[in-house]
């Protein structure tokens, strides 16, 4: 009797706390379409509980706002279209978020732990005088989060003592929220003069590829130092095309100039968790494993039977990659 | 010429396989090899190169942590930094020290030292936070250049190449500014023995957070630190045919 009462009380309390939560999600987009990690961030916001608003700031917001207005679980879209947000610079976005925070007093401010989220959120947190929480993999309670430290070799559960929780989320640990079934209202975000002469966006040089995007691909084929040259990556592109896979790389392959930096998988590159990860000519250093060891199935192809990658691989092939990769491609 | 402040952190060496404490309060650090955070070596190297190119007049390295943080400062001094500032923080206070505290310390020192540029690594490989540059810039109200792989200095401005998700981005920012170094910014030099000897004579000033007016009260409570789930041992396959079979069974092809 007593036990059930106290449980009832706890439940009541937790519902009450959830009602008090209100989360602002910072949408990441390119003025044309939403970047998918935003959908994962919305899911994390749902797990926190409470009301969810999404802020869309940019030089052109209409297409993204239209996409987001149908996102399930989102109650409000805040629009901030302004030339000042060219290049999504943290120096211009921070005052906007602060103005929005002043207006609505959110308990949580959330974004994906992408290059964008990692640049902007700590700046916002400092201005709010709170300690941000990077790259969470789970939400235990509105104030309790789980994240990895030491290149994924330890799992830290922490309780934030700050009044506002500023959090970036690891996209691969939260399902993307569907962009359907919702009906959010749209309103203008706090107006202001967000221009600054401190920073000027000059331009971007993006790697063009027809393959799926690395962090959200179902299958990833990655090459390491064992590929020996950039030209040999053609073998992996052929295999990737057969599997509709994205292509990744170890730091060694990037440093050797085989492929561009943005393909790097690891502690300091991208974190991926595909259904299938095929590591080719990659030894499996701690720093690389940090970026891929949550993959569902890992296949390693390496001629060194002692390579640490075999300790995490579900299936290993101890063989010369130059022989077996073309063979695998032809047999698929 | 710019006065440059670099932040350096003493962390468990990148090659060490860390162990979680049995009581789940943290990881074992006693008797474990420590070194300078690899990204901070890149930050120091960049500052030293700026001085060699006569773009920087003086380089000051700051490290926050227990007494051993001085070893990390000595390494920076041996690489070419002019002098060090050790902000001593130890014990339980150090256990819950967060980038917010370090950023407040760096911002205060940047002002006191009249720095034009603060350079730190993009992240420390222990807490993997990736916050300090951004927060230091915010506390100073300076622009930030994060994940930088190239710096070009033009009069009073910096043209920066940033590593972003889809490739590279170029921005121009006004000085004073805060930068965070990415892996590709440079190849850090090794400290030579004569330089290590010379570094012993370079000054290191000792300060406390209190001297700087920074409150290091804990912002987080560590609930637990645990081992990640262990992957089940896999199998070594005989040939490509067997791999194709397994991939088919798993529904991957």
pLDDT digits (tens, 9 = 90+) for B234-252: 999 999 999 999 999 999 8
DSSP string across B205-248:
EEE-TTTTT-----SEEEEEEEPPPPPPP-EEESSHHHHHHHHH
Q: Band the pLDDT of A189: cuts 50, 70, 90.
A: very high
Give pLDDT, residue A3: 46
Contact indicator for A55, A108 with CB cutoff of 8 Å? no
Q: In whole angstroms, what is the distance from residue A97 CA to residue B101 CA?
A: 22
The kind and range of the H/E element at A139 are strand A133-141
In the numeric block, the tokens 């720093």 are attached to A287
CA–CA separation, A238 vs A263, rounded Å? 16
- Find the angle CA(A49)-CA(A124)-CA(A35) to the nearest 5 degrees: 65
CB spacing of A90 vs B144 below 8 angstroms: yes
- What is the nearest CA distance from A1 to chain B, expressed in angstroms? 31
Radius of gyration of chain A (CA): 22
Q: Cα dist. B113→A101, B4, B59, B207 in Å? A: 33, 9, 10, 13
Tell me the shortest Cα–Cα distance from B158 to chain A, in angstroms: 10
Q: How far apart are the C-alpha atoms of B99 and A168, rounded to whole Å?
A: 15
- Chain A nearest C-alpha distance from B189 (Å): 16
In this predicted model, what pLDDT tens digit does every residue of A120-143 receive, in sequence order?
Answer: 999 999 999 999 999 999 999 999
Per-residue pLDDT reduced to its tens digit, B155-164:
789 999 999 9
pLDDT in tens, A227-256: 999 999 999 999 999 999 999 999 999 999
Cα A289 to Cα A250: distance, rounded to the nearest angstrom: 10
Cβ separation of B144 and A118 shorter than 8 Å? no
Residue with tokens 């393909």: A263
pLDDT value at A5 more than 80 = no
Banded model confidence at residue A220, pLDDT cuts 50, 70, 90? very high
Average pLDDT over chain B reads 96
Closest CA to B216 of B89, B101, B88: B101
Spatial separation of the C-alpha atoms in residues B235 and A150, rounded to whole Å: 27
d(Cα B218, Cα B184) in Å, to the nearest integer? 34
Dist CA A151 CA A156 (whole Å): 12
A328 contacts B166? CB cut-off 8 A: no
Q: Which of B159, B239, B244 sits opposite A332 (nearest CB)?
A: B244
Question: What is the maximum alpha-carbon separation in chain A?
Answer: 72
Q: Best of B117, B137, B138 to disrupt the A interface by mutation (most A CBs within 10 Å)?
A: B138
Average pLDDT value for residue range B110-116 = 98
Contact B163 A262 (CB under 8 A): yes
CB spacing of A155 vs B231 below 8 angstroms: no
Residues of A within 8 A of B27 (CB-CB) are 149-150, 154
pLDDT more than 70, % of chain A:
94
List Cβ neighbours of A27 (8 Å cut-off, separation of 6 or more).
Answer: A34, A38, A54, A55, A56, A57, A64, A68
Tell me which residue in A91, A94, A316 faces B234 most closely, judged by beta carbons: A316
Mean pLDDT of A272-300: 96
Please list every residue in chain A whose beta carbon sits closer than 8 Å to the beta carbon of residue B253. Answer: 243, 332
Q: Say whether pLDDT at A2 is over 50.
A: no
Nearest CA in chain A to B156: A198
d(CA B43, CA B21): 31
Percent of chain A whose pLDDT exceeds 90 = 92
Lowest mean pLDDT among A208-222, B6-20, B76-90, B105-119: A208-222
Closest CA to B215 of B105, B86, B65, B61: B105
Query: Beta strands B117-121 and B177-181: pairing type?
Result: parallel
Residue A50 pLDDT exceeds 50: yes
pLDDT computed for residue B155 by the predictor: 78
* Angle at A264 (CA atoms; ends A26, A154), nearest 5 degrees: 75
- Averaged pLDDT score across all residues of chain A: 94
- Dist. CA B252–CA A332, nearest whole Å: 10
The answer to whether residue A148 scores a pLDDT higher than 90 is yes
- Residue B57 pLDDT level (bands cut at 50, 70, 90): very high
Q: Give the model's pLDDT for residue B232.
A: 82
Read off the tokens for B70: 């001085």
**What pLDDT band is residue A14 in, cutting at 50, 70 and 90?**
low
Share of chain B above pLDDT 70, in %: 100
In this predicted model, what pLDDT tens digit does every residue of A300-312 receive, in sequence order? 999 999 999 999 9
Residues of B in contact with A115 (CB under 8 A): 147, 162-165
Asked whether the predicted pLDDT for residue A1 surpasses 50, the reply is no
Quote the minimal CA–CA distance from A183 to chain B in Å.
30
């Amino acid at each position: 009797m007593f036990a059930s009462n106290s449980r009832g009380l706890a439940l009541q309390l937790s519902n009450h706390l959830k009602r008090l939560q209100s989360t602002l999600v910072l949408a990441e987009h390119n003025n044309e379409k939403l970047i998918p990690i935003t959908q994962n961030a919305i899911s994390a916001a749902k797990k926190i509980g409470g009301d969810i608003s999404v802020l869309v700031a940019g030089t052109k917001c209409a297409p993204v706002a239209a996409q987001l207005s149908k996102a399930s679980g989102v109650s409000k879209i805040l629009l901030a279209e302004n030339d000042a947000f060219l290049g999504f610079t943290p120096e211009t976005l921070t005052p906007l978020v602060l103005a929005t925070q002043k207006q609505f007093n959110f308990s949580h401010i959330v974004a994906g732990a992408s290059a964008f989220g990692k640049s902007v959120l700590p700046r916002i947190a400092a201005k709010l005088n709170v300690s941000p929480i990077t790259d969470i993999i789970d939400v235990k309670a509105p104030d309790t989060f789980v994240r990895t430290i030491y290149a994924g070799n330890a799992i830290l559960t922490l309780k934030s003592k700050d009044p506002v929780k500023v959090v970036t989320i690891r996209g691969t640990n939260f399902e993307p929220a569907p962009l359907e079934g919702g009906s959010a209202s749209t309103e203008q975000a706090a107006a202001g003069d967000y221009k600054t002469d401190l920073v000027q966006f000059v331009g971007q040089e993006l790697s063009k590829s027809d393959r799926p995007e690395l962090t959200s691909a179902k299958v990833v084929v990655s090459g390491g130092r064992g590929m020996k040259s950039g030209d040999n990556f053609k073998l992996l592109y052929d295999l990737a095309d057969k599997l509709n896979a994205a292509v990744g790389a170890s730091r060694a392959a990037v440093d050797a100039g085989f492929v561009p930096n943005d393909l790097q998988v690891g502690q300091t590159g991208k974190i991926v968790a595909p259904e299938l990860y095929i590591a080719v000519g990659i030894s499996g250093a701690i720093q690389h494993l940090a970026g891929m060891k949550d993959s569902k199935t890992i296949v390693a192809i390496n001629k060194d039977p002692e390579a640490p990658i075999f300790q995490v691989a579900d299936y290993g092939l101890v063989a010369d990659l130059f022989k077996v990769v073309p063979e695998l491609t032809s047999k698929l | 010429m710019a006065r440059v402040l670099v932040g350096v952190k003493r962390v468990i060496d990148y090659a060490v396989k860390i162990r979680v404490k049995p009581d789940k309060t943290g990881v074992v650090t006693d008797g474990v090899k420590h070194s300078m955070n690899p990204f901070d070596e890149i930050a120091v190297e960049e500052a030293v190169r700026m001085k060699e190119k006569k773009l920087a007049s003086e380089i000051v390295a700051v490290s926050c942590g227990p007494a051993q943080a001085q070893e990390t400062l000595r390494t920076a001094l041996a690489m070419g930094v002019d002098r060090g500032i050790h902000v001593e923080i130890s014990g339980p206070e150090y256990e819950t020290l967060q980038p917010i505290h370090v950023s407040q310390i760096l911002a205060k020192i940047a002002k006191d030292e009249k720095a034009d540029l603060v350079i730190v690594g993009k992240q420390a490989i222990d807490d993997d936070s990736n916050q300090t540059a951004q927060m230091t810039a915010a506390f100073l109200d300076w622009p930030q250049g994060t994940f930088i792989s190239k710096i070009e200095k033009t009069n009073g401005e910096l043209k920066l190449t940033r590593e972003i998700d889809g490739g590279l981005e170029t921005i121009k920012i006004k000085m004073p500014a805060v930068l965070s170094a990415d892996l590709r910014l440079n190849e850090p030099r090794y400290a030579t023995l004569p330089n290590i000897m010379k570094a012993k004579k370079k000054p290191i000033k000792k300060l406390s957070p209190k001297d700087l007016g920074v409150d290091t009260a804990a912002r987080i409570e560590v609930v637990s630190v645990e081992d990640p789930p262990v992957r089940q041992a896999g199998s070594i396959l005989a040939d490509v045919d067997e791999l194709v079979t397994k991939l088919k069974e798993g529904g991957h092809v």
